[in-house]
Homo-oligomer: A and B are copies of this chain.
Amino acid sequence: MSHTTANKNELLARVRRIAGQVAAIEKAIAGEEGCSAVLHQVAGVRGAVLGLMDELIEDHLREHVARPGLADAERARAADELAAIIRRYGK
């Protein structure tokens, strides 16, 4: 992961927000909050995880497949990795 520091910090901030959302769900279930409220919280985490995934896919695509100066074999390997993720993701 040859991300710039700025990008890495942004990804870490996203992951920490997701961790906070998951902690809130644990608390809501422990506190026996209403089903419907918990479901909306879980739907929020789902959206945040999908957003993180899209960002990581895009970073991988730009850094490891499209970036000028890569060797053909590097691009091919990174494209294989990405195709495997997308096939898994689309289910």
Contact = CB atoms under 8 A, between A and B. Distances in A.
Interface band, chain A: 35 or more
Contacts of A40: 85, 88
A58 B87 contact: yes
A82 B57 CA distance: 10
A14 to B, nearest CB: 9
Interface in A38-56: 38-40, 42-43, 45-46, 49-54, 56
B57 A53 contact: no
B66 A34 contact: no
B63 A66 contact: no
A61 to B, nearest CB: 5
Contact of A46 (B49, B66, B82): B49
